[in-house]
């Protein structure tokens, strides 16, 4: 997927991006925007080949008591259900951005390798996570990021 100017996709990918669209499509055709129509998030790819991503809904309520470690069970469940974060090493391999995760809010991802087909055109990065179980259904996602300049 590299450009004709000889710049590798690894070099082209390095940078910071803002989340624009996050949607998923269930095997039965249902389309959702699980973080709402205006999600908030960033993904950063460093030249040292580390990455980090944070995604969340824009309308998340604050914890009532304001204690970072003592939200109610309901507040903590809602906060977890409306956000995701992960980080680790990254590489490009055979048309995929590959994330070697060392940290993740979803514990099952820690220590895993997450491969995403991608499109990198101009300032837009599209990632296509594989089908996975979400909210009781197999779904595939489409995530659109815009480079910060």
pLDDT tens for the chain, 149 residues long, are: 555 577 898 999 999 999 999 999 999 999 999 999 999 999 999 999 999 999 999 999 999 998 888 899 999 999 999 999 999 999 999 999 999 999 999 999 999 999 999 999 999 999 999 888 888 889 999 999 999 98
**88 three-state secondary structure:** strand
Domains, the chain, ordered by start: 9-147 (2.40.128.280)
Q: Please tell me whether the overall predicted TM-score, pTM, comes out greater than 0.95 for this model.
A: no
């Amino acid at each position: 997927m590299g450009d004709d100017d000889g710049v590798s996709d690894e070099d082209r990918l390095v940078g910071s991006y803002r989340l624009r669209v996050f949607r998923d499509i269930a095997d039965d055709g249902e389309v959702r925007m699980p973080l709402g129509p205006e999600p908030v998030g960033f993904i950063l790819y460093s030249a040292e080949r580390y990455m980090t991503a944070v995604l969340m809904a824009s309308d998340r309520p604050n914890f009532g008591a304001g204690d970072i470690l003592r939200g109610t069970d309901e507040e903590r469940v809602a906060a977890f259900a409306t956000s995701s974060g992960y980080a680790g090493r990254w590489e490009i391999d055979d048309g995929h951005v590959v994330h070697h995760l060392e940290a993740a809010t979803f514990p099952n991802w820690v220590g895993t390798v997450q491969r995403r087909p991608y499109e990198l055109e101009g300032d837009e990065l599209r990632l296509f996570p594989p089908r996975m179980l979400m909210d009781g259904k197999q779904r595939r996602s489409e995530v659109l990021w815009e480079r910060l300049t």
